[in-house]
């Protein structure tokens, strides 16, 4: 059985091993074991913290096979980005150059550096081991955190974003970085992205151009990948679009991957969820699967389960009840898997 739960320090080595499979562009999942342990420490502190408004908390979840104890994947929530160090993005805009005398009117796309998403909640660190893709694992790994958000609304902002990994080729080369970033940072894309994600991003303000970048001055290949995701990220993008996330013209400053956004109440999994009382533990003959989560914080659990619902009461199978740590009469949040 698969269970979605908060990370524990005992997961550190498996997560570090998973990180070796991610390639470039997923800096919120460090490959270094010590940095993984730091991330886990921050997550544990965040889950244990009494919160009435979002701050610098970071919640890291894992998907575990309860029979083998294998960690299949990770996903996370950054409660409010940009509070401790700037959260940079490029806004894709336009500028108009015109010469009435020559009869020339040009609308030119531009990239403007800014921090418009400061204070928003970011969903992040989504990675599922390639050997476990399919069978509902990806949906549980992504959607499980939405039910946590629904149960603990005070911990999160009124806008939710996701930075999607931008396009790079089979050799890990980002055309956007090669055409723009390399000229200012004099380092490889992976090095700059890692420093920004794992250490500090002060160097961005120090080295990045302060004025709008005229897109036509970039290489043709770089222009084509602005707002385009890495092929491996396309399933995650499709999943989030179905949840209600939309592209609003912001891209990552390193690889030009799109940033998508929505409001928590517009997330499909949250909109369709409902609160139930666990009224029975029995065999369920239904075919449909539901996402079912308990309402706890440090002991949060979410599973895919067969259910029987009548009015505001829900019946679950014993394996699901045990995985969720429930007793009769406890409250759960559930939504039909889509």
Residue 37's φ and ψ, nearest 5 degrees, are -60, -35
Query: For position 27, what pLDDT does the model report?
Result: 67
Higher pLDDT, 323 or 187: 323
pLDDT digits (tens, 9 = 90+) for 192-227: 766 666 656 666 767 778 889 999 999 999 999 999
Residues of the chain with CATH 3.40.630.30: 2-89+114-269
Tell me the mean pLDDT in the region 277-295. Answer: 93
Q: What is the mean pLDDT of the chain?
A: 91
Query: For position 40, what pLDDT does the model report?
Result: 96
- Is the confidence at residue 293, as pLDDT, over 80? yes
Residues of the chain with CATH 2.40.40.20: 273-336
Could you give the residue ranges of the DSSP H alpha helices within the chain? 12-19, 33-48, 137-151, 175-176, 182-185, 189-198, 202-207, 220-224, 234-243, 268-271, 318-324
Percentage of the chain beyond pLDDT 70 is 95
- Whether 48 and 155 have beta carbons less than 8 Å apart is answered as no
The reply to whether 230 belongs to the active site is yes
pTM value is 0.90
Catalytic residue among 53, 115, 183, 230: 230
pLDDT digits (tens, 9 = 90+) for 29-80: 888 899 999 999 999 999 999 999 999 999 999 999 999 999 999 999 999 9
2-89+114-269 in CATH: which number? 3.40.630.30
Higher pLDDT, 89 or 232: 89
Name the token pair of 133: 């893709």
- Whether 28 and 76 have beta carbons less than 8 Å apart is answered as yes
CATH topology of domain 273-336: Barwin-like endoglucanases (2.40.40)
């Amino acid at each position: 059985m698969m269970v979605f739960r908060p990370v524990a320090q005992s997961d550190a080595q498996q997560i570090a091993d998973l990180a070796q499979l991610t390639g470039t562009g997923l800096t919120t999942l460090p490959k270094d074991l010590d940095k993984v342990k730091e991330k886990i420490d921050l997550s544990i502190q965040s889950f244990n913290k009494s919160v009435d408004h979002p701050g610098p908390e970071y919640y890291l979840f894992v998907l575990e096979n309860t029979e083998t104890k294998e960690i299949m994947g990770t996903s996370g929530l950054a409660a409010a980005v940009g509070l401790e160090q700037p959260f940079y993005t490029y806004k894709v805009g336009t500028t108009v150059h015109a010469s009435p005398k020559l009869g020339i009117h040009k609308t030119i796309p531009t990239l403007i550096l800014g921090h418009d998403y400061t204070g928003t909640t970011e969903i992040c660190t989504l990675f599922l081991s390639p050997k476990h893709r399919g069978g509902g694992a990806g949906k549980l790994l992504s959607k499980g955190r939405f039910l946590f958000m629904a149960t603990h609304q005070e911990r999160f902002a009124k806008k939710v974003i996701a930075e999607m990994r931008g396009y790079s080729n089979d050799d890990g080369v980002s055309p956007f970085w090669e055409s723009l970033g390399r000229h200012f940072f004099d380092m490889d894309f992976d090095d700059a992205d890692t420093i920004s994600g794992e250490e500090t991003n002060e160097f961005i303000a120090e080295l990045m151009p302060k004025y709008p970048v005229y897109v036509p001055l970039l290489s043709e290949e770089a222009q084509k990948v602005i707002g385009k995701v890495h092929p491996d990220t396309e399933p995650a993008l499709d999943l989030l679009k179905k949840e209600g996330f939309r592209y609003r013209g912001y891209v990552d400053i390193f690889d030009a991957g799109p940033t998508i956004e929505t409001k928590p109440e517009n997330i499909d999994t949250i909109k369709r969820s409902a609160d139930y009382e666990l009224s029975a533990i029995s065999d369920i003959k239904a075919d449909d699967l539901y996402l079912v989560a308990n309402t706890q914080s440090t002991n949060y659990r979410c599973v895919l389960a067969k259910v029987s619902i009548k009015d505001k009461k829900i019946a679950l199978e014993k394996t699901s009840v045990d995985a969720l740590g429930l007793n009769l009469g406890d409250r759960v949040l559930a939504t039909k898997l889509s």
